[in-house]
């Protein structure tokens, strides 16, 4: 173990996995702890080393549990909101009293004045709160959460500083312990919106913990961001399935960007452009996630691009995917999943199920075969095109309840994402001839 865990995309260290298993067994065996965490909670484990080189493991939970911020066997919060006599609770009670008065008042002008006062008090209390969270990094530097976010012209989202990872790092720094490796995993029932499975590891959230951990990890030798590097699977070259003067159909490997992104990785679109040489404009007509392999069509020229994009918009293009699912509950022969999705704004690019504000997403699926190790091969036919639609529909308990193998965002573990765009059918943009292509998955 040479470098500390990059928390936003990682494969947990085996010792971290073992430590997480020990904690799950301890909670399961303790009725009081089971009751505290019965609704489900994100947990964290940190492996540390003391001045004598002895290793130990520390645990934390995100937020509060059963109204408690401090629980024996877990590191304390950076700032304890649960003190009933503290400033935060007193001001919170004043805001609650304003809510009661607003509900009971019949005077419109009085209500507006109280609402303005409530907003002013809430903003002031939130700012006061974030100034109480003074965090450390491995260099010994100290900053408030408010200052860390202000450097990026941001305001911290509510709950910033209460996740497991910053709690663990703060405790280690305060006690002179060297962080060696870390992981965050879920305990308990899956929430209604997010995709969480007990014992599965998940990356740290980007909205609350992105800027915060960027500061707190300074001074540690942290693993590079895997998303910025060429993964082993991305060294596999692409292949051109079909090409004429109007379109290119390519078979993209997992780990390769389809189109230029924010990283320095060279995308498939850029590679095709280099092969075509100057004077030819090549554009992707649709998207594949970087970790999804398979068929994708590119248009040569804006006219062909417009025709093909219209086909996608009118749902005239037919696509299907093959996925390998993690072991789990038995599957029927086939079915349809209809779950509305929306972006988790505090944890981009994760999507969540939201029956109130989400956009409808529909997927037909069929079981191809069960595999000897308990995994299953399925075919997905998306009827809508939402971001991460197949990944969420596979993993969510109201979907198949079995994540796609290798899906780190949604509990599928490490390794390559076993999702492959296997068939693609559309009409040629110039000749109007129907075209169909197939590609076999390589997992």
Please check whether residue 95 is in contact with residue 122, taking contact to mean a CB–CB distance below 8 angstroms.
Answer: yes
User: Residue 236 and residue 360: Cα distance in Å, rounded?
Assistant: 35
Given a contact cutoff of 8 angstroms between Cβ atoms, the answer to whether 45 and 55 are in contact is no
Q: Give me the phi and psi of 71, to 5 degrees please.
A: -135, 130
> Cα separation of 178 and 54, whole Å?
10
What is the Cα–Cα distance from 419 to 38, expressed in whole angstroms? 33
Give ∠ CA 180-184-187 in degrees, rounded to 5.
140
Peptide bond into 223 cis (omega under 30): no
Query: Cα–Cα distance between 98 and 154 in angstroms, integer?
Result: 28
Q: Which letter does DSSP use for residue 61 in this model?
A: E
Region of 63 (left: φ > 0; alpha: ψ -120 to 50; beta: rest) is left
Strand pairing of 178-187 and 142-144?
unpaired
Contact between 276 and 286 (Cβ < 8 Å) = no
The DSSP bridge pattern shows strands 419-427 and 293-300 to be parallel
Which H or E run contains 296? strand 293-300
How far apart (Å, rounded) are the C-alpha atoms in residues 335 and 266?
38
Chain-centroid distance of CA 340 in Å reads 17
Give me the active site residues, please.
289
Please tell me whether residue 153 adopts helix, strand or coil conformation: coil
Contacts of 220 (CB under 8 A, 6+ apart): 4, 138, 179
Q: How many CB atoms lie within 10 A of CB 110?
A: 12
| Sign of the dihedral defined by the CA atoms of residues 170, 171, 174, 175, in that order | negative
**Nearest C-alpha neighbor of 141 from the set 225, 220, 57:** 220
């Amino acid at each position: 173990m040479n470098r500390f865990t990059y928390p936003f995309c990682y494969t947990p260290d085996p010792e971290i996995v073992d430590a997480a298993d020990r904690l799950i067994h301890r909670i399961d065996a303790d009725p009081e702890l089971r009751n505290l965490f019965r609704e489900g909670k994100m947990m964290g484990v940190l492996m540390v080393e003391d001045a004598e080189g002895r290793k130990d493991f520390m645990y934390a939970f995100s937020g509060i549990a059963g109204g408690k911020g401090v629980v024996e066997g877990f590191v304390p919060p950076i700032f304890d909101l649960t003190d009933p006599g503290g400033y935060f609770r007193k001001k919170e009670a004043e805001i609650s009293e304003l809510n009661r008065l607003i509900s009971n008042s019949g005077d419109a002008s009085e209500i507006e004045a109280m609402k303005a006062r409530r907003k002013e008090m809430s903003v002031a209390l939130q700012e006061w709160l974030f100034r109480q969270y003074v965090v450390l990094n491995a260099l010994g530097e100290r900053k408030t959460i408010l200052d860390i976010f202000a450097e990026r012209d941001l305001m911290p989202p509510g709950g910033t500083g209460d996740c497991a990872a910053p709690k663990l790092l703060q405790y280690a720094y305060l006690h002179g312990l060297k962080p060696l490796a870390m992981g965050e995993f879920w305990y308990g029932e899956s929430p209604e919106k997010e995709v969480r499975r007990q014992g599965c590891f998940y990356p740290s959230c980007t909205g609350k913990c992105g800027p915060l951990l960027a500061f707190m990890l300074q001074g540690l030798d942290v693993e590079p961001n895997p998303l910025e590097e060429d993964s082993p699977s991305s060294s596999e070259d692409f292949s051109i399935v079909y090409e004429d003067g109007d379109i290119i159909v390519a078979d993209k490997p997992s780990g390769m960007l389809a189109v230029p992104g924010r990283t320095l990785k060279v995308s498939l679109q850029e590679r095709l452009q280099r092969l075509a040489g100057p004077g030819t404009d090549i554009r992707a007509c649709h998207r594949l996630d970087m970790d999804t392999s398979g068929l994708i069509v590119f248009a040569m020229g804006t006219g062909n691009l417009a025709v093909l994009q219209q086909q996608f918009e009118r749902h005239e293009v037919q696509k299907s995917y093959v996925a390998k699912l993690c072991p789990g509950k038995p599957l029927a022969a086939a079915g349809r999943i209809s779950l509305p999705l929306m972006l988790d704004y505090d944890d981009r690019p994760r999507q969540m199920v939201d029956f109130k504000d989400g956009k409808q997403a529909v997927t037909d699926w069929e079981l191809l075969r069960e595999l000897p190790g308990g995994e299953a091969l399925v075919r997905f036919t998306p009827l809508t095109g939402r971001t991460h639609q197949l990944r969420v529909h596979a993993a969510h308990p109201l979907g198949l309840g079995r994540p796609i193998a290798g899906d780190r965002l949604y509990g599928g573990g490490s390794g390559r994402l076993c999702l492959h765009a296997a068939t693609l059918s559309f009409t040629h943009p110039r000749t109007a001839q129907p075209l169909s292509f197939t590609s076999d998955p390589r997992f």
